[in-house]
Structure 1
Amino acid sequence: MNSLLLPVPPQFSFQECLWFLDRNYDDCLHEVRENSVLKLLSVNEKPSLVEIKRLDEYLQIEVILGEIDEEKICHFVSEWFDLERDLIPFYQLLAFDEDLKYMVSDYHGLRLLGIPDLFEALCWSIIGQQINLSFAYKLKRRLTETYGEKQTYQNTDFYLFPKAEIIASLAVEELKNMQFSTRKAEYLIEIARHFSEGLLSKTMLESLSTDEAIKKLVAIRGIGEWTANYALMKSLKRLECVTYGDVGLYNALNSLKNFPKKPLRKDLDTFFEAFKDWEAYTVFYLWRSLAVKNKAIQ
C-alpha cells in the first residue's frame, strides 16, 4: 500500500466534506467511513482504489489497489475537494448578510465538492431531473453496477462511472428496463455519443467563457440551463454559475430569505449580486442549509 500526502489549505474541514458526501444517500461511487472516504479512480485508463483521510495539515491518500500516479491522483483529489480555493473572500461576503452569516461558523471549511468527470456530471444532472434524490441515486447505482468497471476490496465492490462509449452503444430499452424514462434514456445516450464521437469534452469547455460553454451545452438535446450550470459548477468549478430552476435552491431561499417558492429571475439576480464571483459557492452552502446534521455524527 502506498501513501501520498496532499497539503490542505486553511478554511478546510474534512469532516464537513465527508458529511456532505454521505448525508444518508446511497452513492455507489464512494464509501464514507467514520474518518475517511474510499473511492475508485480512473488513473491512466486503469482503476485505482484510494482511501482518503485527514492527517494533520494534509490529506493522506492511501493507494489500496491499482495504478499509482502521484500527480494524477493528487490532482483528482485536489479538484474533487476544491483545495486550491481561498475561501476567505467568500466568508467575508457571507458575513455581510444577516441571514446567512451563521454559515461562516456552522459550515466552516466546507468545500464545493466537485464531479471532475464532465460526462459523469452531465449524466448525473440528467438522472436527477424531475425526481427525488433517493430515486436518482437508485437509478445511478443501477446504471453504474451494470455498465461500470468494478474492483472488490474487503468484500465491498467499488465502481467507476460507466464510460461514454459504453452508454453510447446502448438501446433505449436497456435503460428503460432500469426504470429510466424514455426521454432520459434518449438524453443519456445522446450525450454519451457526443463524448464518444469527440464532439464534446471537458477540454473543449475549459477553453470557452462560461456563457459560451452554456450555449454549447444547451444545444445538445436533454441539456437545459439548469443542467448546464450544474455541470459547469461541479466539473469546471465555474463559480459564477447559478442553478436557476433548482427546487432545493428555492426552498433554501424561501426558508432563509423569505423568497417566494418560485422567485422571479430578476430577484434571484439581485440577490446573487452580493455574492459576485462566488455564486456557485453560495448555491452550495444554501443546499447545505437544507440538511440538518445529526449531532451524533458531527
Structure 2
Amino acid sequence: MRFTISLPANYRLQDVQAFHSRDAESVAEEVRPERIRKGMLLDDVAVALTLHLSPAAAECEADADCPQPLPASLQQRIRDAALNMLGLRIDPQAFLDFARDDAMLGPLVLANPGLRIVQSATVFEALTWAIIGQQINLPFAIALRRTFILQAGRQHSSGLWCYPEAAGAARLSAEDLTSRKFSRAKAETLLRFAALVASGELRLEQAADNSIDEISKALLAVKGIGPWTVNYGLLRGYGYADCSLHGDVAIRAALQRLLGEDSKPDMARTERILQQYQPHRTMAAAHLWASLHGRPNESA
C-alpha cells in the first residue's frame, strides 16, 4: 500500500523526527534523516509503515503481513497512523492567530509559528505510553515502553517489532511486567486498561455516541488513571485541541520561568492560567514544553 501526504509550508520535520527517535535503542521505530519506519499491530495485522520524508510531502509505504489487497478498514487505520505520526491533526495557525498578542505566550508563539503536536501512531499506544510514563523520568519510561513492546507486541516479517494492541497486552500477567522493573501499580493499571479495551467494555473510537467527553469519563473511571494521563492521552492519541496539562511538571516549570517566580505554580493556579487559552490549551502546552526543551517534547 502506497500513498502520499502533502506537507504544509514551513513544516518542521525536525520535531517529528525528534519525537519518534526518543528511544535510541528502539525496537519499533527506525528514524533516519530521510525517513521514519514504524512497526505496529493494526487489527491483529503486523504493519511496517515507512514515511519517506521531504520538505513538501511524505511518501508513505505500508508493508502488512497479510494477504493483499488490504481491507478498506485497515487501509484507513494505516492512513490515520501516518497523519498522527506527522502531527497533522491540529493546524497551528489557529493558535498563532489566537495568542500572537498574548503577553505571556505571544513571544513563544511568534518564535515558533510552525510548532505542531506530533502524535503516537494509535490511540492505544498514546494511552499506554501515558500510563507507562506516569510519575517517572523519561529515560526509565522509555526503557519500560521497550519492555512492553517486546512482551506484548509481535515482530513484523522484516524484523521490526510492532507496538501491541489491547488483546496482546491483555494476555500478559502482572508478573510479566513486574519482573522487568514495572511497579506493581503501573503493571496492574496497564493490564486493567488493556483488558477493558480488548473486551470492548472501554471504547476508544470516537463516534456519535462516544464523544471525547464520554471517552474521558470512561478513562477516569479506570483505577490508576487520573486527569494527567487522560489529557496526555487525548493530546497524543486524538490530537484533541483543548487538553489541560496543569498536572504536568514541565508545564509548571515553564510557567515558573515565564512568570519569573521562585517556585512552580501549584496545579490549581496552573489550571487557571491555562484556562485563558481555551479552546487551544493543547498548543499552549506545546509551546510551554518547547520553551524548556526547544521542541514540543515533555518530561515523560
Q: TM-score, normalised by structure 1?
A: 0.84
Aligned CA distance change for structure 1 residues 291 and 24 (closer, same or farther; 3 Å): farther
SS of 1:234's equivalent in the other structure is helix
- Structure 2 distance, partners of 1:264, 1:139, is 29
- Structure 2 distance, partners of 1:118, 1:274, is 27
Displacement of 1:148 in angstroms is: 0.7
Structure 2 counterpart of 1:131? 136
Query: What code does the residue aligned with 1:284 have?
Result: A
Structure 2 counterpart of 1:12? 11
Structure 2 counterpart of 1:267? 269
SS of 1:202's equivalent in the other structure is coil
1:114 to 119, 131, 139: 119
Structure 2 counterpart of 1:283? 285
SS of 1:162's equivalent in the other structure is coil
Q: TM-score, normalised by structure 2?
A: 0.84
Structure 2 counterpart of 1:151? 156
Number of aligned residue pairs: give it: 289
Displacement of 1:64 in angstroms is: 5.2
Query: What code does the residue aligned with 2:180 have?
Result: M
- Structure 1 distance, partners of 2:284, 2:208, is 22
Aligned CA distance change for structure 1 residues 121 and 186 (closer, same or farther; 3 Å): same
- Any conservation in 1 of the 2:204–2:215 contact (CA below 8 Å)? no
| 1:83 aligns to 2:88 (yes or no) | yes
Q: Which is worse superposed, 269-278 or 236-245?
A: 269-278
Aligned CA distance change for structure 1 residues 99 and 31 (closer, same or farther; 3 Å): farther
Aligned CA distance change for structure 1 residues 216 and 261 (closer, same or farther; 3 Å): farther
Name structure 2 gaps, 5 residues minimum. 296-300
SS of 1:290's equivalent in the other structure is helix
Displacement of 1:218 in angstroms is: 1.2
- Structure 2 distance, partners of 1:72, 1:190, is 24
Once the two structures are superposed, what CA deviation does each residue of 1:34-88 show, in whole Å capped at 9, x if it has no partner?
Answer: 2321112445532222221333532111335646755443232113323253321
Structure 2 counterpart of 1:38? 37
- Any conservation in 2 of the 1:16–1:109 contact (CA below 8 Å)? no
Query: Cα RMSD between the aligned structures?
Result: 2.7
Structure 1 counterpart of 2:146? 141
- Any conservation in 2 of the 1:30–1:38 contact (CA below 8 Å)? yes
Once the two structures are superposed, what CA deviation does each residue of 1:95-131 show, in whole Å capped at 9, x if it has no partner?
Answer: 2234433434543433211124232222211111121
- Structure 2 distance, partners of 1:89, 1:113, is 16
Q: Share of identical aligned residues, percent?
A: 27
Name structure 1 gaps, 5 residues minimum. 294-298
1:219 to 200, 207, 221: 221
Aligned CA distance change for structure 1 residues 209 and 277 (closer, same or farther; 3 Å): same
- Structure 2 distance, partners of 1:267, 1:133, is 25
1:231 to 226, 230, 233: 233
Structure 2 counterpart of 1:296? none
- Structure 1 distance, partners of 2:241, 2:60, is 27
- Structure 1 distance, partners of 2:107, 2:23, is 24
Aligned CA distance change for structure 1 residues 166 and 282 (closer, same or farther; 3 Å): same
Structure 2 counterpart of 1:63? 62
| Correspondence list, 1:162-201, <5 A | 162-201=164-203
- Any conservation in 1 of the 2:35–2:51 contact (CA below 8 Å)? yes
Aligned CA distance change for structure 1 residues 84 and 132 (closer, same or farther; 3 Å): closer
SS of 1:73's equivalent in the other structure is helix
Once the two structures are superposed, what CA deviation does each residue of 1:6-44 show, in whole Å capped at 9, x if it has no partner?
Answer: 122345322232123335655443222123211124455
Aligned CA distance change for structure 1 residues 44 and 222 (closer, same or farther; 3 Å): closer
- Structure 1 distance, partners of 2:20, 2:162, is 16
